[in-house]
Amino acid sequence: MEKFEHEYNADQIQVLEGLEAVRKRPGMYIGSVSVRGLHHLVYEIVDNAVDEALAGYCTEINVTIEKGNIICVEDNGRGIPVDIHPKTKLSAAETVYTVLHAGGKFGGDSGYKVSGGLHGVGSSVVNALSEWTEVTIQRDGGLYQMKFQRGKTVSTLTKIGDSKKTGTKVRFLADDTIFETLEYEYEVLENRFREMAFLTKGLKITITDEREETPRKNEFCFEGGLNSFVEYLNNNKEKLHPTPIYIEKDGEYPVEIAIQYTSAYSENIYTFVNNINTIEGGTHLEGFKRALTKTFNDYAKSKNILKEKDGNLQGDDIREGITAVISVKVKEPQFEGQTKTKLGNSEVAGIVQAMVNEKLSTFLEENPNVAKAILEKCVSAARAREAARKARELVRRKSALESTTLPGKLADCSSKNAEECEVYIVEGDSAGGSAKQGRDRRFQAILPLWGKMLNVEKARADKIYGNDKLNPVILAVGAGIGADFDITKIRYGKVIIMADADVDGAHIRTLLLTFFFRYMRPLIENGNVFLAQPPLFKLFKKGMEDIYWYEDDLTGAFEILKERGIERDQVSIQRYKGLGEMNPEQLWETTMDPARRILVKVTMDDAIEADKTFSLLMGDDVNPRREFIEKNAKYVKNLDI
Ligand code: 28F
């Protein structure tokens, strides 16, 4: 039996019931108990420190993953208030950590004005879901500490020393009886904190990983704020103007926007509400798009770049090659959409629209060279759009006539029930041959691809329709592309990319993913795209069943041998360099048989990182590409798959 020094009164019993609810249904509070939910715990704590920075009192946040997956977050803000609330007889700090929904909510009568910042409500949730939590506060000349176990106070807030500094430090160990895993992924946290540093100009965030012998460390601090963000996203793309366009407006709904055009054909607009990535967009994005279209059209007409007879430039034309980051602060945000990442507040559309109309037109008047460079590109986009429309019509007319035309190389399956059907897109003719022989032809189709693919980052839609490498993919999937893509028409429930586990394979995979990401995004969002995982090794010995191994590290395979009482040096190890080295049977057994294969589902969780990855590989600059490929032979991890 655990013994607690604490005595509980009626109020606190209610509190405990509150945290018990969090432990019973953690998913309701942090989304899931997977590795994603685990990372959420860290974000909740860091959010509070960032709020303190937004309030203007904190300049530095340090996050450490300590040995044993203990998280330590420290800020140099004012420190959570330590004074006792007369009614609850608890310190403000302990209340924040033990009462569900405390924090910002009781900013009203607590005597503390939470200016600017919104002081998150997640501290008590983190506390409830941690095996233990330790909070140390420096404030009012003192050093204070309190400790919890699974949300229960085991040591109430106590002064344990003096301090001239101020700040808050929180250490916690997530509860392994709640979470599926406690293994934090450094890259995931690193990306999130980089993003947060971009969104909070001048705030320094460091992240350290002490789990390995040689600690990893990154420091993020961007004096340029959103401008730095856009420059980062456009890294190694060709820019149409040297510095981003930056516009901002304070007030009840602060809005900040940075824009920079590149010679690429894609549109990359990232939107944030209270530093939360609104992946599904919403009213702020709508307002921005409307204003962008109107402002550029008005300017082009007034300067006679666009004649009255030409009609208007369309929104798509004006957004070709744009990279933009939009950050708004909304006191009571309403989030909608499938993943609750779409801003619903209708008033925000007009606010952003008016702000962009005003500030962007001023910018264009004052920077005619930038305006000219962008508009030239818009006009050529409009022309390409017209050409694309014609090309598409041609394709449509054709397919109306011969609607069953499938690519010649496709070995289709006999079932026509998309739900159970799969298409393997296979790199290379020889692997394609093995796959054709090894498959279950009832529900598995094979589409061999070979040679280098078209670089879709640099191609407009009209080229893609006519491209002889991508056209087979489009026809096989059978649902069109771009704005015409219709997920209900897909011919296969699983689109599986099967490529070698080497650098060329990684390249093909990335090119295909880029293509899906840009032109069939719903396919990724809907979870229809997969990566096949061919084995890396075969361990074999006469009289022993072959062992296929899918990881670089063979330690686990050797353990299996040991369990079977076989010495390591008795077995031969074959390293597979490519799919072509496997015969049809082996390919079936290891990579295609639904009962035995490993499939990795591709998700577009982290659109920013994915785009960055693609651009790196697609950009003109060869060096970052090579570096990337070398570093990421198993790059799929970075796509958050
Ligand atoms: C490592 C995580 O949580 N930092 C925080 C503050 C500062 C204040 C605060 C936090 C007031 C009464 C609700 C201080 N002085 N880092 C953190 N720093 N919370 S959390 O106030 C909380 C509200 O209860 C703070 C004056 N006002 C606010």
Site to probe by mutation for ligand 1, drawn from 61, 109, 119, 169 as the one with most ligand atoms within 8 Å of Cβ, is 119
Which ligand 1 atom is at minimum distance from the Cα of 73? 1
Question: Which residue has the CA at smallest separation from atom 11 of ligand 1?
Answer: 112
pLDDT number for residue 500 = 84
Cβ(193)–Cβ(46) under 8 Å? yes
Which ligand 1 atom is at minimum distance from the Cα of 103? 13
pLDDT exceeds 60 at position 631: no
Q: Mark whether 310 is an active-site residue.
A: no
Q: What is the pLDDT of residues 499-515, one digit of tens each?
A: 887 767 777 777 788 78
Of 190, 422, 500, 609, the catalytic one is 500
Q: Report how far residue 329's alpha carbon sits from residue 257's, in angstroms, rounded to the nearest whole number.
A: 12
Q: How far does residue 195's CA lie from ligand 1's centre (Å)?
A: 22
Mean pLDDT of all residues in 235-242:
92
pLDDT exceeds 70 at position 641: no
Question: Which residue has the CA at smallest separation from atom 23 of ligand 1?
Answer: 103
Q: How far does residue 299's CA lie from ligand 1's centre (Å)?
A: 47
Cβ(141)–Cβ(164) under 8 Å? yes
Q: Mark whether 66 is an active-site residue.
A: no
48 Cβ below 6 A of ligand 1? yes
44 Cβ below 6 A of ligand 1? no
119 Cβ below 6 A of ligand 1? yes
Better-scored residue on pLDDT, 620 or 332:
332
Cβ(145)–Cβ(136) under 8 Å? yes
This prediction has a pTM of 0.70
Q: How far does residue 48's CA lie from ligand 1's centre (Å)?
A: 7
Mean pLDDT of all residues in 245-268:
94
Question: Which residue has the CA at smallest separation from atom 9 of ligand 1?
Answer: 80
Q: Report how far residue 40's alpha carbon sits from residue 128's, in angstroms, rounded to the nearest whole number.
A: 13
Q: Report how far residue 553's alpha carbon sits from residue 259's, in angstroms, rounded to the nearest whole number.
A: 44
110 Cβ below 6 A of ligand 1? yes
- Name the fold adopted by 226-385: Ribosomal Protein S5; domain 2 (3.30.230)
Highest mean pLDDT: which range of 226-230, 397-401, 534-538: 226-230
Which ligand 1 atom is at minimum distance from the Cα of 77? 18
Listing DSSP states for 172-184 in one string gives EEE-TTT-S----
Which ligand 1 atom is at minimum distance from the Cα of 102? 13
Q: Mark whether 502 is an active-site residue.
A: yes
Question: Which residue has the CA at smallest separation from atom 7 of ligand 1?
Answer: 80
Cβ(46)–Cβ(75) under 8 Å? no
Question: Which residue has the CA at smallest separation from atom 25 of ligand 1?
Answer: 80
pLDDT number for residue 635 = 37
Instruction: Read off the pLDDT band of 213 (50, 70, 90).
Output: very high
pLDDT exceeds 70 at position 121: no
CATH 3.40.50.670 domain position(s) in the chain: 402-534+600-635
The mean predicted confidence, pLDDT, of the chain is 86
pLDDT number for residue 394 = 65
Of 386, 502, 559, 585, the catalytic one is 502
CATH 3.30.565.10 domain position(s) in the chain: 21-220
Q: What is the pLDDT of residues 580-609, one digit of tens each?
A: 889 999 999 999 999 999 898 887 654 455
75 Cβ below 6 A of ligand 1? yes
Cβ(282)–Cβ(344) under 8 Å? yes
Q: How far does residue 110's CA lie from ligand 1's centre (Å)?
A: 11
Angle, helices 186-199 vs 226-233, to 10°: value is 130
Instruction: Read off the pLDDT band of 419 (50, 70, 90).
Output: very high
Mean pLDDT of all residues in 211-215:
93
Q: How far does residue 140's CA lie from ligand 1's centre (Å)?
A: 13
- Give the residue ranges of DSSP H helices in 478-602: 503-519, 521-525, 555-563, 584-587
Q: How far does residue 13's CA lie from ligand 1's centre (Å)?
A: 24
50 Cβ below 6 A of ligand 1? no
Cβ(195)–Cβ(187) under 8 Å? no
80 Cβ below 6 A of ligand 1? yes
135 Cβ below 6 A of ligand 1? no
73 Cβ below 6 A of ligand 1? yes
Per DSSP, 367 falls in state -
What does residue 323 show for φ and ψ, rounded to 5 degrees? -125, 125
pLDDT exceeds 50 at position 107: no
Better-scored residue on pLDDT, 610 or 526:
526
139 Cβ below 6 A of ligand 1? no
Of 504, 546, 581, 593, the catalytic one is 504
Which ligand 1 atom is at minimum distance from the Cα of 58? 18
pLDDT exceeds 60 at position 627: yes
Mention every residue, 6+ apart, whose C-beta is less than 8 A from residue 603. 524, 527, 640, 641
Q: How far does residue 4's CA lie from ligand 1's centre (Å)?
A: 26
Q: Which of 27-36, 245-254, 399-408, 494-503 has the lowest mean pLDDT?
A: 399-408
167 Cβ below 6 A of ligand 1? no
Question: Which residue has the CA at smallest separation from atom 3 of ligand 1?
Answer: 48
Mean pLDDT of all residues in 6-34:
80
The closest of 275, 374, 362 to 318, measured between CA atoms, is 374
Instruction: Read off the pLDDT band of 260 (50, 70, 90).
Output: very high
Listing DSSP states for 612-638 in one string gives HHHHHHHSS-HHHHHHHHHHTTTGGGG
Site to probe by mutation for ligand 1, drawn from 61, 80, 196 as the one with most ligand atoms within 8 Å of Cβ, is 80
Q: Mark whether 298 is an active-site residue.
A: no
Q: Report how far residue 348's alpha carbon sits from residue 28's, in angstroms, rounded to the nearest whole number.
A: 27
Better-scored residue on pLDDT, 206 or 187:
206
Q: What is the pLDDT of residues 53-106, one digit of tens each?
A: 999 999 999 999 999 999 999 999 999 999 998 887 899 999 999 998 654 433
Which ligand 1 atom is at minimum distance from the Cα of 46? 2
Q: How far does residue 92's CA lie from ligand 1's centre (Å)?
A: 9
Q: What is the CA radius of gyration of the chain?
A: 28
Q: How far does residue 52's CA lie from ligand 1's centre (Å)?
A: 7
Of 52, 190, 320, 427, the catalytic one is 427
User: What is the second-level CATH architecture of the domain 21-220?
Assistant: 2-Layer Sandwich (3.30)
Mean pLDDT of all residues in 508-536:
86
pLDDT number for residue 118 = 45
Question: What CATH class is the domain 402-534+600-635?
Answer: alpha beta
Residue for token digits 């008795």? 570
Q: How far does residue 459's CA lie from ligand 1's centre (Å)?
A: 50
